[in-house]
Amino acid sequence: MTQIFTILWDSYKLLTAKKLFWITLGLTIFIALLYASVGFYDGGISLFFGTAKLDNDLINAQSDLASHFYMKIFTNYLVPWWLGLFSIVLALISVTPVFPNFFEKGAIDVAVSKPIRRTTLFLTKYMGCLLFVAAQVALFCVICYIAQGVRIQQWSLQIFWAIPLLLLAFSSIFCIAVLTAVVTRSTVFSLLMALLMWGLGVVLNSAEKGAYNYAYNPMMEIARSTEQGGINPEKVHQITQGISMPTPKVTRLTNLLKEKVKIDGKEVGSYLDAFLSAFGFGEKKSEFKLQSGKRHSMAYIFGSTLAFNIVVLGLACFLFERKDF
Amino acid sequence: MSQHVIDIQNTWKTYRGGVQALRGVTLQVPQGQIFGFLGPNGAGKSTLVKILTSIVKPSQCEGTMLGERIGHKKTLSKVGYLPEHASFPEYLKGREVVRYVAGLCGTSKSLSRVKADELLELVGMSDWADKKMGSYSKGMKQRIGIAQALVNDPEIVFLDEPTDGVDPRGRKEMRDVLVKMREQGRTVFVNSHLLGELEMICDSIAIMDRGELVTQGTIADLTAKSQRIEIGYLGQLSSDLMTKLSAMGGEHSAQTITIYQKQISEIQSIIDTLRAGAVVISRVEEVRQNLEDLFISSVSATGVGGTQN
Ligand SMILES: Nc1ncnc2c1ncn2[C@@H]1O[C@H](COP(=O)(O)OP(=O)(O)OP(=O)(O)O)[C@@H](O)[C@H]1O
Ligand SMILES: [Mg+2]
């Protein structure tokens, strides 16, 4: 136990010694507070703790729409964009050097020559990095949770689903960096590989989405029928699905939060969407779009990403176990 | 358990890429000694130490360390190690490094605090202990390196070029530390190129060359073969005298008669013979090879490195 704490303590020391850590932490708090600064008064929306006011007849303290609006900012923007993109990139930049630093000649020797199994050493180090990300996401969620409670009286514990979802998403990118680090010991290369594979995942998953759209969207009927001698669109979708299955699904994971968070048993935004479309604002989500969003079960998205994690991490661990330093 | 804390046979290591760093090394290290491990660059010294500390996996290795098979993790809690070109986290303070290593060895928090203070004092780093590693000079880092190698009260301490970058006074202090370790009953295993220093403190040595062990033993034993007495004289020797001296075991060259492997008491008769022949004796001297001569004569004269496949 002492050994595990020591490894975690060392990772903590390494991370907090970096400026980037404090910058990321500062930004996280800043964004969360920005969210908390949004409020509602009888005539509309107030920003920056009431310093700016936007009059709005639909979204105000009097209307139920305010809670949907406020929650939607969290589930549809803050989580996928801030947590799911920017903070993952920032976290990746901060924690990627942990493993290459650890593998440096003259440094790794000390750790590896101690009475502790290499696998334990490796996995603890990895967990330390995840813990660091978890702490940041948790802090963010806590601030947002309190903000939602105070602003719209929704004490929705479901928003904490963001932590495991984000952690899995982050881990599925980070494990690529770690595997690269075991092989090359290079920070830059690790980071590049991680971003590259992330990009590849996005491309493959978008291709799958596109293929699904082409194969099943009723609006594509005409296009499908005019195509001559082409390959069966459903087949194309099956192939793209097969290729994209073993890839990490960061975007889709973060989007899962939308399904988890409900307001009074209703999906966030559905009320708002319906209301807006009734008045001719915005477009009501087509049946197909809704169906498309749910074409994969949560288990599929979670499971395939988790499997990817386990395989990549397992390989990295296996190589680390056998490596001569 | 045998008298030998390290007792390995037939140790082979071929790195990926085909470098044969070790070729059938058999080595015994007696308990409680300072053991010097020498060899030219690339001889495989560090490789052997890394195998013993489980950093490198041997291609083949039989035998034991502290009574356990090589690579047994638990045994390593009784082993201290200072790697070659050690680099410790720059973001940690000297004291933190020592305690970090103590933690990795599983030493309890309270014990590691006491140990750290004691060891930092021992290596003369008490005043600097609360500064970051990044601000240390090379020699200071090396001192911290020694301290961390001792933090788990090891029975064997491996030091791979411990005096690398340490100033002369520091080296003297380090020798004292090594001697102190021996007094405490620890076995100290030192890789070094500084033969003069090793000669001062080592009980036994082993010399490696190109992945093979060429000699092993106490310095006294190893240099005994070269022990000789030289008698210098002035003037010329008659041929009659020369024959007599050869019969008595003396070898003669340029104004010097050399007698191998004899005690001074055993050569008095030669002196008598010379004096009887009215030869002027200018000096009588007992000569012994030093470690450097031994080293040079043991290792092959060409090149460095392991053996390429
Ligand atoms: N990680 C490694 N991968 C491949 N080859 C290696 C590795 N480490 C060492 N070698 C090779 O093994 C041989 C022995 O190296 P080693 O470091 O054991 O020598 P050494 O006796 O400690 O030399 P020095 O006195 O220069 O420290 C060398 O030829 C070296 O090139
Ligand atoms: Mg070496």
State the SS3 of B177-243: HHHHHHHCCCEEEEECCCHHHHHHHCCEEEEEECCEEEEEEEHHHHHHCCCEEEEEEECCCCHHHHH
Which residues have a Cβ under 8 Å from the Cβ of A262 and sit 6 or more positions away? Answer: A156, A158, A268
- On whether any CB of chain A is under 8 Å from the CB of B81, the answer is yes
Residue recorded with tokens 């050097």 = A97
Which residues have a Cβ under 8 Å from the Cβ of B298 and sit 6 or more positions away? Answer: B207, B209, B214, B215
**Ligand nearest to the Cα of B42, by number:** 1
Task: Look at A115 and B76 and tell me if their CB atoms are within 8 Å.
Answer: yes
Helices and strands, number each (H, E), in chain A: 15, 5
Distances (CA, A) of A88 to A136, A259, A299, B95: 10, 21, 22, 34
Q: Give me ligand 1 centre to Cα A319, in Å.
A: 21
Q: Give me ligand 1 centre to Cα B211, in Å.
A: 10
Confidence bin at A278 (pLDDT 50/70/90): low
Helices and strands, number each (H, E), in chain B: 10, 15
Weakest-pLDDT range from A62-71, B23-32, B93-102 = A62-71
Instruction: Note the pLDDT tens digit of each residue in A41-99.
Output: 777 777 787 777 777 766 676 677 777 777 788 887 888 888 888 888 988 998 898 89
In this prediction, residue A58 carries a pLDDT of 67
CB pairs under 8 A between A and B: 90
Q: Which residues surround ligand 2, an ion (CB under 5 A)?
A: B 46, 84
Protein residue with least CA distance to atom 26, ligand 1: B41
Do the bridges between strand B19-30 and strand B34-38 make them parallel or antiparallel, or are there none, so unpaired?
unpaired
pLDDT greater at residue A276 or residue B261: B261
> Chain B residues with CB inside 8 Å of A321's CB?
none
Mean pLDDT for chain B? 87
Share of chain A above pLDDT 70, in %: 88
Nearest residue in A to B99, CA atom: A6
Write phi, then psi, for B25 (nearest 5 degrees).
-80, 135
Beta-bridge mates of residue B252: B257
Q: Give me ligand 1 centre to Cα B79, in Å.
A: 22
In this prediction, residue B104 carries a pLDDT of 92
Probe ligand 1: pick from B11, B13, B45, max atoms within 8 Å of CB? B45
Which residue, B101, B159, B166, is CA-closest to B138? Answer: B166
Q: Give me ligand 2 centre to Cα B182, in Å.
A: 23
Share of chain A above pLDDT 90, in %: 23
Q: Work out the average pLDDT over B219-245.
A: 83
In this prediction, residue A280 carries a pLDDT of 59
Q: Work out the average pLDDT over B198-219.
A: 89
Protein residue with least CA distance to atom 5, ligand 1: B15
Instruction: Measure CB to CB from residue A109 to each of B15, B55, B96 and give the nearest one.
Output: B55
Weakest-pLDDT range from A293-307, B54-68, B192-206 = A293-307
pLDDT greater at residue B289 or residue B205: B205
> From CA A212, how far away is CA A208, in angstroms rounded?
6
In this prediction, residue A106 carries a pLDDT of 83
Nearest residue in B to A320, CA atom: B55
- On whether any CB of chain B is under 8 Å from the CB of A19, the answer is no
The ligand 1 atom at the shortest distance from the C-alpha of residue B56 is 1
Contact B120/B129 with Cβ under 8 angstroms?
yes
> From CA A212, how far away is CA A207, in angstroms rounded?
8
Instruction: Measure CB to CB from residue B73 to each of A105, A106, A115 and give the nearest one.
Output: A115
Whether the CA torsion A161, A163, A168, A173 is positive or negative: it is positive
Q: Work out the average pLDDT over B29-56.
A: 93
Q: How far is B221 from chain A (nearest CA, A)?
A: 33
Q: What is the enclosing helix (H) or strand (E) of A141?
A: helix A118-152
Is residue A267 left, alpha or beta, with left meaning phi > 0 and alpha meaning psi from -120 to 50? beta
Interface of A with B in 96-125 (CB under 8 A): 101, 104-117
- On whether any CB of chain A is under 8 Å from the CB of B164, the answer is no
In this prediction, residue A61 carries a pLDDT of 67
Q: Give me ligand 2 centre to Cα A310, in Å.
A: 37
> From CA B205, how far away is CA B218, in angstroms rounded?
6
Q: Give me ligand 1 centre to Cα A78, in Å.
A: 52
Task: Look at A113 and B15 and tell me if their CB atoms are within 8 Å.
Answer: no
Render A225-287 in DSSP notation, one character per residue.
HH--S---HHHHHHHHHHHHTTS--HHHHHHHHHHH-EETTEETTHHHHHHHHHTT-S-PPPH
Instruction: Note the pLDDT tens digit of each residue in B117-157.
Output: 999 998 888 899 899 988 988 888 999 999 999 999 999 99
- The domain of A216 spans 2-322
Amino acid at B119: L
In this prediction, residue B1 carries a pLDDT of 44
Write phi, then psi, for A283 (nearest 5 degrees).
-115, 140
Check pLDDT > 80 for residue A214.
no
pLDDT greater at residue B213 or residue A70: B213
Instruction: Note the pLDDT tens digit of each residue in A17-31.
Output: 888 889 988 998 998
The total of structural domains in chain A comes to: 1
Instruction: Note the pLDDT tens digit of each residue in B262-276.
Output: 888 888 888 888 888
- On whether any CB of chain A is under 8 Å from the CB of B103, the answer is yes
* Site residues for ligand 1, CB cut-off 6 Å: A 324; B 15, 17, 19, 21, 39, 41-47, 84, 305-306
Check pLDDT > 70 for residue B303.
no
CA–CA–CA angle A240, A204, A201 (5° rounding): 140
> Chain A residues with CB inside 8 Å of B111's CB?
none
